[in-house]
């Protein structure tokens, strides 16, 4: 198998690379950058919510008249900010970070493959991804401003808004194409390119999670594409698919959109669950509790994810019987989710815990996911949702699962696989400071949102002070904004740590975490073709602390 | 290009073939979105929805459907010839398939121009929007298929396919039959029912 290490030009090696590791790292850098961009957009709109009508210090002068007048944000710009914050975070940060970056880098290594099944398709996927983000963000520089109809883009508004919305639609179609190429590649690679002995039930949880996620991507994304194309035609070709004035159906959009976008929340959380399972097992020095149950739980979540989309539409006037059906199917998701949660706890129970930065972030994932999951049950109930719908309660909920869930898992993944990517460790003390600040600031930012929501604070409003029933809640808004600034600034610690460790981080060998899975048997960083010889797999991925063995781990590829 | 190596993986199937099958699964969902929207919108407009025969030239499109089904048959025969090592048979099969596919597109363009001349456009009515979106996306798929077939045809002229490895022909075949199948569904629900 040993590949010839022929000299490659700089362009071929780092820019137009077809090597899954380079593409994964390209995705990692790009998505972390968009994570910062999305965060900055959120901080801008938090200023407006805490201090409505007050000029923004320093930055206020930088923005042109079309966005801020005298440092005071215009309502149209505010709408563009929350729309683009969500779009950037969902489409250009979290999905491509978890799937594009970790999926690409980790999957072939963990199954013992030299590369992905279709390396050039893989490259194309990246080259669809970042231009799509540029297209969406370029909306800020056109006259109408960026898309401003929320990331859900409900018509009729989204069918009649300005040019920025068209750019947004095109960008989402492009990033969908990128996701699809990735999904086809992951599925083929995982099905067809496993090393000898790597049976499906010897695959690490990260691989399982990316596998099931790719099935969701493959089947859900094209439906969004078809909806986006119809919306694009409504905007540019004079059709009326979603405009009632021409006989179209506004609700049709909501059905098609949520048919993708509910499964998409599992696209955003399942890879995180996989990463966290690997990290928790490694640093608890124990086999994952209930491996098969964990796999079936992922499948269960993925299947149920396809039949619950209507719970986003309880307020749309749907037949109450249909609403009840969607309520029941939604609540069923609590079962596989609880299986996973208890199994993570069971894995840590009486383990020899090693509190590395990766482990701390993974534990944070489990606890924050529980809070986000429980608040989800409130909204799954039709009667309760009637009250909570479109309030800050849902904003709190989504951030507990997306930041508290997906982002903490992504952080865990960054700390865990950084040594494999670059041959150096991230600085642990800095990592722990970053974790502690993020964890505290995160909870201070998003927990009070539940209280705002119960108080009736609507989401997506420009000026809460306009409403008498919200005025007494304003101190909470100020507190949230201050916490959000701490949260934003804390991410700079990760940035500094990342950049610093690339050059000066502690050098590590093949297996710094004493882990079992195959990627730790390859050099750090692995060369072209990954493994010196194709590994043979003899056992499952989580054989830690076997009784009667001198070392507490047992790599998958070790013969005896 | 690539070194000769086996693409047969753990599933006992060539990776390229598996990839095409997965791609087709996503294509099914794409057309499901469009067809689903069509069904919803048509049921919302049952009164004013024109009877298919009143607007569309069903015999012409019926003939066109026949051409497309024939093109699937010529491709199957070409592939079978190629797998027996009869290279000219493969080339004739591919050539006929390209010819029939192009003919399908030409007739569809003619149909479009007649309809537009009669006043039915993508923005003239919900019926027009649905008709042109559904058949247009299918036509785009046929166009992609014809281009892909031309590439395969050129490669077959260069002798790239052997009886042992004619995967390139098989892959385009899978796609072509899928496009054919989608047309049979679209022809039924748009033209006949």
Tell me what ipTM this predicted complex has.
0.93
Tell whether A185 lies on the interface with B, counting CB pairs under 8 A: yes
Say what the pLDDT of residue A459 is.
Answer: 94
Tell whether A493 lies on the interface with B, counting CB pairs under 8 A: no
Residue showing tokens 């070790």:
A558
Chain B residue with Cα closest to A189: B15
Q: Does domain B19-43+61-192 have CATH number 1.20.120.80?
A: yes
Question: Taking CB atoms and an 8 Å limit, are A192 and B37 in contact across chains?
Answer: no
Residues of chain A scoring pLDDT < 70: 1-7
Chain B residue with Cα closest to A227: B33
Report the alpha-carbon distance of residue B129 to residue A343 in Å, rounded: 51
Residue showing tokens 């700079």:
A492
What does the DSSP 8-state code read for residue A245?
G
pLDDT tens track for B89-104? 999 999 999 999 999 9
Tell whether A70 lies on the interface with B, counting CB pairs under 8 A: no
Instruction: Provide the mean pLDDT of chain B.
Output: 92
Q: Residue A262 has which token pair?
A: 């509910």
Question: Taking CB atoms and an 8 Å limit, are B126 and A220 in contact across chains?
Answer: no
Q: Long-range contacts for B149-156 (Cβ within 8 Å, ≥24 apart)?
A: B149/B75, B149/B94, B149/B97, B149/B98, B149/B101, B149/B176, B150/B98, B152/B94, B153/B91, B153/B94, B153/B95, B153/B98, B156/B82, B156/B87, B156/B90, B156/B91, B156/B94
pLDDT over 80 at B8, yes or no: no
Terminus-to-terminus CA distance in chain B, angstroms? 49
Question: Taking CB atoms and an 8 Å limit, are A191 and B129 in contact across chains?
Answer: no
Question: Taking CB atoms and an 8 Å limit, are B15 and A183 in contact across chains?
Answer: no
Question: Taking CB atoms and an 8 Å limit, are A249 and B40 in contact across chains?
Answer: yes
Say what the pLDDT of residue B90 is.
Answer: 95
Within 8 A of B26 by CB-CB distance, chain A residues are 180, 183-184, 218-219, 221-222
Binning pLDDT at 50, 70 and 90, where does residue B4 land?
Answer: very low
Within 8 A of A246 by CB-CB distance, chain B residues are 126
Say what the pLDDT of residue B12 is.
Answer: 77
Say what the pLDDT of residue A393 is.
Answer: 96
Tell whether A221 lies on the interface with B, counting CB pairs under 8 A: yes
Say what the pLDDT of residue A6 is.
Answer: 55
Question: Taking CB atoms and an 8 Å limit, are A191 and B37 in contact across chains?
Answer: no
Give the lowest-confidence range in A8-17, A453-462, B36-45, B143-152: A8-17
Element of type H or E holding A209: helix A205-236
The minimal CB distance from A191 to the residues B10, B31, B33 is found for B10
What does the DSSP 8-state code read for residue A309?
G
The minimal CB distance from A192 to the residues B10, B26, B29 is found for B10
Within 8 A of B122 by CB-CB distance, chain A residues are 233, 237-239
Within 8 A of B23 by CB-CB distance, chain A residues are 180, 184
Report the alpha-carbon distance of residue A28 to residue A15 in Å, rounded: 14
Q: Residue A509 has which token pair?
A: 């060998």
Q: Say if residues A258 and A223 touch (Cβ distance below 8 Å).
A: no
Quote the radius of gyration of chain A (alpha carbons, Å).
Answer: 23
Report the alpha-carbon distance of residue A153 to residue A150 in Å, rounded: 5
For residues B142-159, average pLDDT: 96
The minimal CB distance from A239 to the residues B31, B122, B137 is found for B122
Report the alpha-carbon distance of residue A520 to residue A542 in Å, rounded: 13
The predicted model scores a pTM of: 0.95
Binning pLDDT at 50, 70 and 90, where does residue B52 land?
Answer: confident
Residue A536 CB coordination number (10 Å): 14
Question: Taking CB atoms and an 8 Å limit, are A239 and B123 in contact across chains?
Answer: yes
Say what the pLDDT of residue B6 is.
Answer: 53
Within 8 A of B30 by CB-CB distance, chain A residues are 222-223, 225-226
Q: Say if residues A503 and A422 touch (Cβ distance below 8 Å).
A: no
Binning pLDDT at 50, 70 and 90, where does residue B48 land?
Answer: confident
SS3 content of chain B, % helix, strand, coil (to 5): 75, 0, 20
Within 8 A of A247 by CB-CB distance, chain B residues are 41, 44-45, 125-126
Give the lowest-confidence range in A361-365, B68-72, B189-193: B189-193
Chain A residue with Cα closest to B49: A247
For residues B122-150, average pLDDT: 96
The minimal CB distance from B126 to the residues A192, A194, A240 is found for A240
Say what the pLDDT of residue A310 is.
Answer: 93
CATH for A12-521 (2.60.40.10, 3.40.980.10, 3.90.1170.40, 1.20.210.10): 1.20.210.10
Strand partners, A69: A72
Binning pLDDT at 50, 70 and 90, where does residue B164 land?
Answer: confident
Question: Taking CB atoms and an 8 Å limit, are A256 and B33 in contact across chains?
Answer: yes
CB contact residues (below 8 A), chain A span 111-140, against chain B: 117-118, 121
Chain A residue with Cα closest to B45: A247
Q: Residue A274 has which token pair?
A: 């996989």
Report the alpha-carbon distance of residue B158 to residue B94 in Å, rounded: 14
Quote the Cα angle for A242-A245-A247, to 5°.
Answer: 65
Question: Taking CB atoms and an 8 Å limit, are B19 and A194 in contact across chains?
Answer: no
Within 8 A of B44 by CB-CB distance, chain A residues are 247, 249
Say what the pLDDT of residue B7 is.
Answer: 65
Interface test mutation site (partner B, options A223, A244, A252, A257, max chain B beta carbons within 10 A): A223
Report the alpha-carbon distance of residue A557 to residue A329 in Å, rounded: 41
- Cβ neighbours for A450, distance < 8 A, ≥ 6 positions apart: A375, A392, A393, A396, A397
- Alpha-carbon distances, residue A427 vs A292, A408, A417 (angstroms): 35, 17, 13
| Gap from B53 CA to chain A (nearest CA, Å) | 22
Chain B residue with Cα closest to A186: B19
Q: What is the count of residue pairs from A and B with beta carbons less than 8 Å apart?
A: 108
Q: Residue B4 has which token pair?
A: 């000769």
pLDDT over 60 at B1, yes or no: no
């Amino acid at each position: 198998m040993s590949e010839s290490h022929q000299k490659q030009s700089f362009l071929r090696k780092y820019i137009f690379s077809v090597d899954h590791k380079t593409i994964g790292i390209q995705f990692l850098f790009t998505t972390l950058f968009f994570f910062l961009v999305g965060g900055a957009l959120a901080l801008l709109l938090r200023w407006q919510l805490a201090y409505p009508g007050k000029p923004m210090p320093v930055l206020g002068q930088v923005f042109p008249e079309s966005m801020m007048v005298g440092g005071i944000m215009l309502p149209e710009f505010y709408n563009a900010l929350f729309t683009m914050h969500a779009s950037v975070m969902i489409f250009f940060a979290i999905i491509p970070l978890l799937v594009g970056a970790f999926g690409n880098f980790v999957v072939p290594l963990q199954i013992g493959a030299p590369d992905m099944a279709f390396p050039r398709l893989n490259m194309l996927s990246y080259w669809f991804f970042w231009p799509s983000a540029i297209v969406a963000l370029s909306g800020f520089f056109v006259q109408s401003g960026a898309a401003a109809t929320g990331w859900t883009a409900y018509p009729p508004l989204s069918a009649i808004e300005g040019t920025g919305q068209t750019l947004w639609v095109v960008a989402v179609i492009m990033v969908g194409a990128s996701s699809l190429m990735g999904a086809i590649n992951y599925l083929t690679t995982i099905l067809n390119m496993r090393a000898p002995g790597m049976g499906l039930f010897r695959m690490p949880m990260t691989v399982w999670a990316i596998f099931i996620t790719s099935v969701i991507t493959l089947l859900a994304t094209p439906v969004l594409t078809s909806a986006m194309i119809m919306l694009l035609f409504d905007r540019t070709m004079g059709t009326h698919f979603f405009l009632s004035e021409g006989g179209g159906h506004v609700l049709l959009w909501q059905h098609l959109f949520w048919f993708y976008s509910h499964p998409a929340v599992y696209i955003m959380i399942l890879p995180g669950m996989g990463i966290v399972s690997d990290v928790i097992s490694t640093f608890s020095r124990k086999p994952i509790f209930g491996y098969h149950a964990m796999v079936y739980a992922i499948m269960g979540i993925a299947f149920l994810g396809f039949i619950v989309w209507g719970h986003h539409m309880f307020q749309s006037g749907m037949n109450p019987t249909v609403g009840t059906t969607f309520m029941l199917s939604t609540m069923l998701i609590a079962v596989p989710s609880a299986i996973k949660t208890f199994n993570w706890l069971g894995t840590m129970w009486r383990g020899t815990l090693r509190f590395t930065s990766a482990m701390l972030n993974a534990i944070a994932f489990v606890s924050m996911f529980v809070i986000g999951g429980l608040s989800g049950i409130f909204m799954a109930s039709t009667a309760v949702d009637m009250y909570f719908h479109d309030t800050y309660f849902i904003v709190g909920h989504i951030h507990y699962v997306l930041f508290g869930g997906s982002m903490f898992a992504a952080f865990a993944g960054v700390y865990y696989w950084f040594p494999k990517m670059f041959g150096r460790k991230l600085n642990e003390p800095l990592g722990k400071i970053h974790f502690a600040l993020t964890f505290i600031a995160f909870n201070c930012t998003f927990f009070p949102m539940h209280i705002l929501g119960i108080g009736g604070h609507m989401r997506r409003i420009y000026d809460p002070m306009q409403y008498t029933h919200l005025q007494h809640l304003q101190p909470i808004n100020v507190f949230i904004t201050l916490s959000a600034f701490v949260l934003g600034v804390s991410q700079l610690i990760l940035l500094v740590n990342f950049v610093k460790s690339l050059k000066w981080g502690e050098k590590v060998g093949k297996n710094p975490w004493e882990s079992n899975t195959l990627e730790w048997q390859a050099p750090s960083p692995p060369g072209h073709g990954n493994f010196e010889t194709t590994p043979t797999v003899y056992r499952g991925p989580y054989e830690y602390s076997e009784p009667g063995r001198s070392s507490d781990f047992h790599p998958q590829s070790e013969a005896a | 290009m690539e070194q000769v190596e086996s693409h047969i993986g753990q599933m006992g199937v060539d990776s390229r073939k598996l990839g095409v099958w997965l791609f087709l699964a996503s294509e099914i969902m794409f057309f499901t979105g469009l067809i689903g929207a069509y069904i919803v919108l048509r049921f919302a407009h049952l009164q004013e929805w024109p009877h298919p025969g009143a607007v569309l030239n069903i015999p012409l499109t019926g003939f066109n459907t026949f051409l497309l089904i024939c093109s699937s048959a010529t491709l199957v025969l070409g592939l079978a010839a190629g797998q027996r090592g009869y290279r000219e048979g493969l080339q004739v099969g591919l050539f006929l398939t390209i010819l029939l596919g192009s003919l399908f597109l030409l007739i569809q363009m003619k149909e479009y121009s007649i309809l537009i001349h009669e006043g039915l456009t993508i923005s003239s009515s919900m019926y027009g929007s649905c008709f042109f979106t559904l058949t247009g996306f299918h036509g785009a798929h046929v166009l992609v298929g014809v281009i892909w077939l031309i590439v395969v045809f050129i490669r077959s002229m260069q002798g790239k396919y052997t009886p042992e490895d004619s995967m390139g022909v098989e892959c385009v075949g899978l796609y072509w039959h899928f496009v054919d199948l989608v047309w049979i569904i679209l022809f039924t629900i748009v033209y006949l029912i």
